[in-house]
Amino acid sequence: MATVLVPLAEGFEEVEAIAMIDIMRRGGIEVLVRSLKEELDITGANGIVVKAENTIYDVTADDIDMIALPGGWGGTDRLAADENVQNLLKAMDEKGKDIGAICAAPFALNAAGVLKPNFTCYPSVEEQIRTEGYQGDKEQVVQDGNVMTSRGPGTAICFALQIIKKLVGEETYSQVREGVLATYCD
């Protein structure tokens, strides 16, 4: 069974985090929902509190197949500044393991030096990263090497489905996609 880490930081985008966690679990992926700090109740960008299962402190690149970062500027800033997250992103990239980020979260990948040349993100966030390589709205999800990026809350289900396709396979991807009526996802 594939294992994906979803780290939650204060100010995370709730739609993205919950959609990713839910869809990946429907696809049979073990999702580790972890807090960046000792407090497990994490408040999202819109005031919704989500309880993490544990902290991120004990997670290593060897423990997981992928790390997937939800956006939200407050959460993204914390992910970009967090030493544990940044070190984990670098270790994942060094091992060629999968890394994902949606909305503003590619900013945190850029801070770690792991963002690949072709990416997408929430409109205007590319100005905080770089504009070359930005794919805009050409695709809902952009894959470049071991890094997968997506645009925002409206593409969160498609993003999670692409993670399923990559880690579990086409058959499970199709089953979950049809089961949640996400036929708009490619």
Helices (H), 27-72: none
What 8-state DSSP symbol labels residue 61? Answer: G
CA distances from 31 to 27, 112, 182 (A): 10, 22, 20
Q: Can you give the length of the chain in residues? A: 186
Nearest-CA neighbor of 139 among 151, 156, 154?
151
Active-site residue, from 103, 121, 158, 185: 103
Instruction: Return the residue matching tokens 């949640």.
Output: 180
**Integer Cα distance of 55 and 32 in angstroms:** 10
Nearest-CA neighbor of 1 among 148, 169, 131, 114?
169
121 tagged catalytic? no
**Integer Cα distance of 83 and 144 in angstroms:** 24
| 54 CB-near residues (< 8 Å, 6+ apart) | 32, 34, 35, 40
Active-site residue set: 103
